[in-house]
Amino acid sequence: MQLHNKVDKRVLKEQLLASNEERTTISFYKYVRIGNPQIFRDHLFLNWSELGVFGRVHVATEGINAQISVPTDKLDEFVQFISTIEFLQGIGLNFAVEDNGKSFYKLTIKVRDKILADGLNDESFDASNKGQHLHADEWNALMDDPNSILIDMRNHYESEVGHFKGAIAPDVDTFATSLDVIDQMMEKHKDKNIMMYCTGGIRCEKASAYYKHRGYKNVYQLEGGIIKYAHEAKEQGLENKFIGKNFVFDERLGESITPEIIAQCHQCGQPCDTHVNCKHVGCNLLFIQCDKCKDEFEGTCSPECQHIIHLPEDEQKLKRKGIDKGQNIFKKGRSPHLKFKHAGVKEIPDMPGMREL
């Protein structure tokens, strides 16, 4: 009984890129008590493997968080399967806005302490006392209320390429870091309408309960996040108040919600919102790079990294031996040689650490 994928990831990526199979990218989450996450994890892996599901899934005693792609011709079977799990019956599925079928190349399901790293002590507050969910039409209406403050609950490398008009965002690397930063900055605004949004809704689900516990009176969250908002706005003919690209945590690294490009190449400053990882695997920095700079620097983030990728492989291994740069993916553009990171975006004077978008 095989419960893990053992094929080299480079082979799997090549297979995915060469495949013409139509696949549908989906995300969903559910906060629910799971008695034995390991057994549940193995059950999912066996059944989803048979269906050809790829993706990244976290399971914990507090629930499930899944970003996956399903063969389109197996989509009905997939929905039928999850309906056999009582607590997933009728769950809302977020379908990708812009999908090339190349979002994931293998199935990874991990048992974690939490389905989302939030840094919170859940026993210290009532996590079920969440904020009010708003659909796209309700969200647009409340955005127009002068008593509303719109907060982007995502990280700096996400809000940089796309965001709601007039939102403010913490200049942070992780969701866990953002919670206290936002709380400190919003302390004097506890009577206002606090509107929060994220990619698919999971971050706001926990954050809204935390802020209600902290004394915020009117807390709202975007139902289904940016992904569902984009679908609802299009289906209902509403004004789409989100501009730019929605950053996603898969091989696509983004999906265009509107055609505007609001970010810039971190190397030359030209309009660009294409994310790449530095080709020097010992660096792996996630940053924005235009086609011109991609050619000039051969997909690397700096002349130093460009030099290293031309060294013999054994020399490259010696240079990166004992150095873990894997987490650079969460430090997008935070490097002194990238001059155009957040260029032109100013901090809010009375809210240090918050950026006006």
pLDDT in tens, 191-231: 999 999 999 999 999 999 999 999 999 999 999 999 999 99
Q: Which tens digit of pLDDT belongs to each residue from 257-305?
A: 999 999 999 999 999 999 999 999 888 899 999 999 999 999 999 999 9
d(CA 255, CA 274): 10
**Residue ranges of domains in the chain, CATH in brackets:** 9-111 (3.30.70.100), 125-244+344-356 (3.40.250.10), 275-330 (no CATH)
CA angle 99, 133, 255 (to 5 degrees): 15
- Output the six-digit token pair for 4: 């893990």
The chain-wide mean pLDDT, for the chain, equals: 90
User: Among residues 260, 310, 249, 252, which one has the least CA distance to residue 117?
Assistant: 249
Return the DSSP state at 349: T
3-state secondary structure of 268: coil
- Identity of the amino acid at 272: C
Are 181 and 198 within 8 A, CB to CB? no
pLDDT tens readout for residues 31-56: 999 999 999 999 999 999 999 999 99
The pLDDT assigned to 216 comes to: 94
Calculate what percentage of the chain has a pLDDT beyond 70.
91
In the structure, what pLDDT confidence band is assigned to residue 328 with cuts at 50, 70 and 90?
very low
Alpha carbons 313 and 115: distance in angstroms, whole number: 37
Active site residues: 198
Strands in 132-134's sheet, in edge-to-edge order, are 132-134, 218-222, 193-197, 148-152, 168-170, 351-356, 347-348
Angle (CA) 348 349 350, round 5°: 95
* pLDDT exceeds 50 at position 330: no
Tokens standing for residue 29: 């989450």
Q: DSSP letter at 331? A: S
3-state class (DSSP) for residue 80:
helix
Q: What is the pLDDT of residues 50-92, one digit of tens each?
A: 999 999 999 999 999 999 999 999 999 999 999 999 999 999 9
- Where are the extended beta strands (E) located within 113-157? 132-134, 148-152
Run of H or E residues at 234: helix 225-236
What is the rounded radius of gyration, in angstroms, for the C-alpha atoms of the chain? 21
